[in-house]
Structure 1
Amino acid sequence: MTPFKRLGLSPGSDEREIKRAYARELKRCRPDDDPQGFQALNEAYQQCLRIVAQRAVAFALAATDEDDSAPPSAIAQTQPHPAAPTPPAAPARDASSQPAPKSRHQAQPASHEPHHADPAEPQARYFDLQAFLEELFDFAQRRLAVDLQRWLRDCEPLYSLDLKHALRAPVAHALAQREPPLAPAATDAIAEYFDLGALYDPDPRLRHWLAVASDRGARSVAFERILGEYRNAHDRLVDRWLFGELQRPAFWPRRALIALIPSLPSRLRGLLLRLQRVGPEWLERRLDPGAVGFWLRACDPERLDPRRIAIAAVRIPLYYLAAAWFVWLLMAYDPAPLQDIPRNIAVLFAAWVAAALGWIGLRRLQRWMAQRMGWDPFVAYTIVLLAACAACAYWLPFQAALIACVIGFVQARSRAAPVPAMLCFLIGALATIAVTPSSLLAYDSAAPLIPIAAATVLPLHDFALSRRLGVPMAQVRAGAGKLWRLAQILAAVAVAGFLLR
């Protein structure tokens, strides 16, 4: 089946029809459901684009033949000995001793039989686009940008302006899809030669492809720079372990050692997150996919993956036994620290599971509040902590009041306008005391409710104002908002409450 038939097109379809057909077929053949079918579809799509680009180059060459304005050595001709080599990658040779070498993107003779062309007969021309792109990118990958510019200037087939103009779209598209991406300097040199970033260009695709190529090149350099910090760590054994774990196939003794040493799993996850922010598409291409998937799941704080549970099930008994043995030595071999070891380990593991589930629930509640109610994470954590203080006020009144005061002070000081926020917090506490009946103030459990109510004033103000103005709560927190007026209202309530008591 030809690539055009795979997309349901005729061989004469243009690039727009190819992209529409690819988008239509992509809805039927998703990469998650049918990876092999998607790969075949993508190969057919890329091959169709190459055929269309080759066709555009052929049209440009035909126009050059009709115009007869290009120099005779612009394109390789169908003669037994081509005219001139491509850009000098090696010193020039004596033409009298041996024939000139052929470039990979110059044409070969149409027939192997000797053919004596008539000087008056127009000679056919051919340009191998794929070979030219491979040679161009290979040279750009190995040499400096200055050498690349000289290579392009000396490329004899590009002496034809029509051919050079016809190559702009294929080169830009190939730059955007190049793997690995070229360095930004090489991309800039190619873009400058083919004039890809011109603002006056009527084809916006060229600027888009150039922007994609530049972005991918810069991110690829940053990706390799991060890996280089661990690849070249000759004096740090831990960094070499981490780099070997990500680059080489799974070696379970090394993986177990990294999992059992404190802070190493979180450090490895931090490295993977840095790489994921820079180049998520290269995370499993340039690193070992098994190691990447294992550590991203084993160190994810927002899910209880079996890998994470297995690591905790090994670390908790090991750490507990080490601590018990140390205490046993300090206590002069007293058997008390070594008693009830299985029960204590089970309690610690249950506590770890409860803490992990609580953290997961807290993060999900934060996301729900941010998506449904428009609350930023700071306000979400504030509300959750204040609710926890109110729930514990009966049993731990002093501790709940102290935590509520700290929360109110922190959220007032973290604002862009802390003075009115601090006044709202203090006057809110006075207003709460003024409106609370004297009979309730005699109870210890009522004392922590005063700072809790005062600290709740600020997030309620942010929530009401964000709903009224239709802006995010983070933007409300960045300004004073209606805090001065709210402080005046609370002061009036406090004065009225004290006068009426």
Structure 2
Amino acid sequence: MNPFEHLGIEAGADEREIKRAYARRLRQARPDDDPAGFQALHEAYQACLGYAQHLRWQAMQDAEAGSDESTPVSHAHEHIASDEAPASQAQDQPDRARETRADDEPGHAPEHEHEHESDELAPPPNEFDFNAFMHELLQRAAYQPSAGLARWLRESEPLYSLDLKLALRAPVSQVLAQIEHPLPVEATAVIFEFFSLDVVGEHDAWLHEHAARARDRAESNQRFHYTLEALQSPRVKPVDRLLTRELARSRHWPRRVFIALVPLLPMRLIGALKALQGIDAQQAALQLNGESVSFWQRATDPLRLSRPRVAIASMRIVVYYLALVGLMNLLIADLAPSPVRDLSVAFAIWAGWACAQAASLRWWPTVLVERLDRRTVFSTVALIGAAVLAPIDPFVASGLGLVIALMAGSERSPTHGSLAQYATYAMCAALGTVLLLTTGSWRVTIPYALIGTGALHIIHSVAYAWYRGISVAQARTQAGWYWYLVGASGIAIAVGLYKMANG
């Protein structure tokens, strides 16, 4: 039985018919004699009344849609004031207004329903200005404590009219669901309680949808601001505060260049951005710096060779090359680098890698993705190429091995990321010590130590995946056997240093 059938009226009944039917039914379901029946009747009455008000509100919107481009709530006060021809002003009949309010409150039966069976709800004052009311309501809700907001609503004389409060439920919930900046959770709860929006049932789907959306937006907005504040607090790592400032503040070139040059920081920034967007995408678009967000999204998009991505890659190649040449010049006296050739080869390798990555993401067959890990395949091919290139151009081979080793060590989850990085340093030092003792040449030691470190990461992921019966992608997110690798690397370093010290 739907609410209209419960009251014994047609589904298209107006508020006058609903009021009369409710008064008639109250004679058969008094709260003292039949509390359950009275509660069901009252719920049906509220549902019918809300639906009728929604129909009137929707009719007003449809009528004004063609001639006025203001928001749907801009003329709600006209709708409220002109809905019914007032029999008399509420302020002229305080006794009747009190009886009307008592009739509509749960748990109260009208004492004189036989005398007022044909009465309507007391209409709101004609001078009520909905726009001004909503402006003040939003201002107080945004900047005033919730206790002050509740007191202001209780003391607002126009809202003494139950008819006005009921008519305001639909437009107020619609405004709260659509405003650009959601209100605080506490203020939203006060408004919901005052206008009885927290007890809207699913029988009034339109009002229930807007009320639920308003509540969800307030809660997600609160979570977004808490997360953003937490990422900028002294309790988090300085690098996380730096990345958050890059997302939230205006462009600062030294900070942006630093993030671009440090390996893995751009991807960490994108991870923080996705976390904030996952909480509240609308607030992320409003609160974060749009230029910074767009720049880093284009710079880290693996499907496009965008200008930011090419610029960052070129800058990294030059800086890393100069740093590597300086280090190797300290260790190898007769080194004769060829910067133009080395940089050209390095950039060509990167461009080929980027194109192959984009192509694989677009066209790699699904069956192969399930059986072969794309990153593992590319990393293995790149390491083989670096090993072949090492005798010819140790600089490019060393740089390629370093990039693959760092990338392989950064694929772990945040819980195990530090462990994988420590393992990278330990394995590189151990391989360098062993190769230096074996060959006695830094020219061979540096590139092959870096290439070997990347190879050990790949071998570890594949072996751990086979041992656990999981995919290689899943294995890369776990700690695996890195503690054993760190321990073995430490033993190898200690033995190598002992042999060096004893000739």
Q: TM-score range by the shorter chain?
A: 0.5 to 0.7
Map 1:264-275; keep pairs closer than 5 Å. 264-275=265-276
Map 1:239-388; keep pairs closer than 5 Å. 239-331=240-332, 334-336=333-335, 338-365=336-363, 369=366, 380-383=369-372
Q: Is the 8 A contact 2:173 2:210 kept in 1?
A: yes
Q: TM-score, normalised by structure 2?
A: 0.54
Partners of 1:124 and 1:16 in 2: how far apart?
21
Partners of 2:241 and 2:462 in 1: how far apart?
47
Please state how far the C-alpha of 1:172 moved relative to its aligned partner.
0.4
Q: Report whether the alignment pairs 1:54 with 2:52.
A: no
Partners of 2:469 and 2:64 in 1: how far apart?
57
Which residue identity does 2:187 align to in structure 1? A
In structure 1, the partner of 2:58 is 15
Please state how far the C-alpha of 1:292 moved relative to its aligned partner.
1.4
Aligned residues: 316
Deviations 1:280-327 (A, max 9, x none): 223332222211111111122332211111100011110111012012
Partners of 1:19 and 1:357 in 2: how far apart?
53
Q: TM-score, normalised by structure 1?
A: 0.54
Q: Report whether the alignment pairs 1:225 with 2:226.
A: yes
Partners of 1:67 and 1:139 in 2: how far apart?
27
Q: Is the 8 A contact 2:146 2:186 kept in 1?
A: yes
In structure 2, the partner of 1:80 is none
Unmatched 5+ stretches in structure 1:
1-12, 26-40, 75-121, 370-374, 416-501
Partners of 2:227 and 2:124 in 1: how far apart?
54
Deviations 1:201-251 (A, max 9, x none): 753221111111111112211221222123333886544543443333323
- Give 1 or 2: higher helix fraction: 2
Partners of 1:195 and 1:207 in 2: how far apart?
11
Q: Percent identity?
A: 34
Partners of 2:292 and 2:242 in 1: how far apart?
13
Please state how far the C-alpha of 1:124 moved relative to its aligned partner.
6.8
Q: SS state of the match for residue 249, structure 1?
A: coil
Partners of 1:299 and 1:388 in 2: how far apart?
21
Which residue identity does 2:345 align to in structure 1? V
Q: Is the 8 A contact 1:197 1:207 kept in 2?
A: no
Partners of 2:83 and 2:148 in 1: how far apart?
27
Please state how far the C-alpha of 1:64 moved relative to its aligned partner.
7.0
Change in CA separation of 1:388 and 1:226 when aligned onto 2, cut-off 3 Å: closer
Partners of 2:93 and 2:343 in 1: how far apart?
84
Partners of 1:227 and 1:123 in 2: how far apart?
44
Q: SS state of the match for residue 71, structure 2?
A: helix
Change in CA separation of 1:349 and 1:187 when aligned onto 2, cut-off 3 Å: same
Map 1:414-425; keep pairs closer than 5 Å. none
Deviations 1:42-82 (A, max 9, x none): xx54435422x22322135854736767649x9xxxxxxxx
Please state how far the C-alpha of 1:330 moved relative to its aligned partner.
2.4
Partners of 1:188 and 1:284 in 2: how far apart?
25
From 406, 409, 418, the equivalent of 2:466 is 409
Q: Is the 8 A contact 1:246 1:291 kept in 2?
A: yes
Q: Is the 8 A contact 1:60 1:166 kept in 2?
A: no
What's the RMSD between the two structures over aligned residues?
4.1
Unmatched 5+ stretches in structure 2:
1-55, 98-122, 385-454, 473-503
Q: Is the 8 A contact 1:61 1:162 kept in 2?
A: no
Partners of 2:376 and 2:317 in 1: how far apart?
31
Q: SS state of the match for residue 140, structure 1?
A: helix
Deviations 1:417-468 (A, max 9, x none): xxxxxxxxxxxxxxxxxxxxxxxxxxxxxxxxxxxxxxxxxxxxxxxxxxxx
Deviations 1:230-281 (A, max 9, x none): 3333886544543443333323333223222333322222221112222222
Q: Is the 8 A contact 2:90 2:161 kept in 1?
A: no
Please state how far the C-alpha of 1:162 moved relative to its aligned partner.
0.6
